[in-house]
Amino acid sequence: MTPGHSGPGAAFGVRPFLLALAVVAVWGTNFVVIRIGLDALPPLLFAALRFTFAALPLVFMLKRPAVPWRDLAAYGVLIGVGQFGLLFIAIDGWITPGLASLVVQVQVVFTIGLAMRGSGERLLPVQYGALALAVAGIAIILAHTGGTTTLPGVVLVIGAALGWSLGNMVQRRAGQIDMLAFVVWSSLFAIPPLFLLALLFEGSAVMIGAVAAAGPLVWAVIAWQAIGNTMFGYGAWGWLLARYPASSVAPMALLVPVFGMGSAAIWLGEPLPAWKLLAALCIVGGLAINTLGPRLQTRRAA
């Protein structure tokens, strides 16, 4: 980033765009990786191991970022339990990975809504229409629940999206800090509740058996969750949110389902019927209008 472009209002140029594109590519294809991991690990244990290796051993190498402990704890719990705990449970038989990558994008609405609430802004008329279009997409999915797509699965992923958006707000509040250190240190606060929930709902026998039976592929999946998805993905995303407007960064997440549904279709053979493509068009289109429409309207007025 060039000198002088270091605040939340900095121009969103080519380099930050490419960085955001790399992040969403990792996040999108990661839904396939999650599905592979869940074939061998129960969801809460899987999430706990993910954040364990995201924190260790780097927490001993990186200085704690200059943010309050409460922000580290809030981010760790919101992302660890709120986002990935719920998401892993949902993908473990309640919803397909590609569809989960689509539904979780309602976090864009949550993120921008929370940002607008903090700044006192109001929705423009075009954004109400966009929200209705996105809701129509969710309604199409709900109308086709059954089999691999269930109502609990959709609800769980929407809950994960809310956890993600709340985590975005905590991370954005932290400002310009070492985001890798922030992600690593906050992961410490995701580990205890995830292991406790795994112990309560999955049982010690299942946990021990799953770890004992884990082969090289399973540990590679866990390593990718920790290094690629958590350290790189959330570190880079937080770095972008701290330096550029949420209205510029958040829309990039609209590409996650493109990578998610595409990779699930290619590697897992997940079907793409017409209703699923229509739902994707409504949700992604609605969210795109919601985030990009106001800027186009402002340009026209100018």
What's residue 12's pLDDT?
A: 66
- The Cα 288–Cα 22 span in angstroms is 19
Residue-wise pLDDT tens digits, 210-251: 999 999 999 999 999 888 888 888 788 888 887 887 767 877
Terminal-to-terminal C-alpha distance of the chain: 28
Provide, rounded to the nearest whole percent, the portion of the chain with pLDDT above 90. Answer: 50
Give the relative orientation of helices 216-224 and 43-55 as an angle to the nearest 10 degrees: 60
- The Cα 175–Cα 20 span in angstroms is 18
Q: How confident is the model at residue 3 (pLDDT cuts 50, 70, 90)?
A: very low
Provide CB contacts within 8 A for 247, sequence distance 6+.
112, 115, 291, 294, 295
Residue-wise pLDDT tens digits, 57-101: 889 999 999 999 999 999 999 999 999 999 999 999 999 999 999
Domain range annotation of the chain: 14-107+152-270
Q: How confident is the model at residue 295 (pLDDT cuts 50, 70, 90)?
A: low
Residue-wise pLDDT tens digits, 144-198: 877 778 999 999 999 999 998 999 889 888 877 888 899 899 999 999 999 999 9
- The Cα 9–Cα 59 span in angstroms is 31
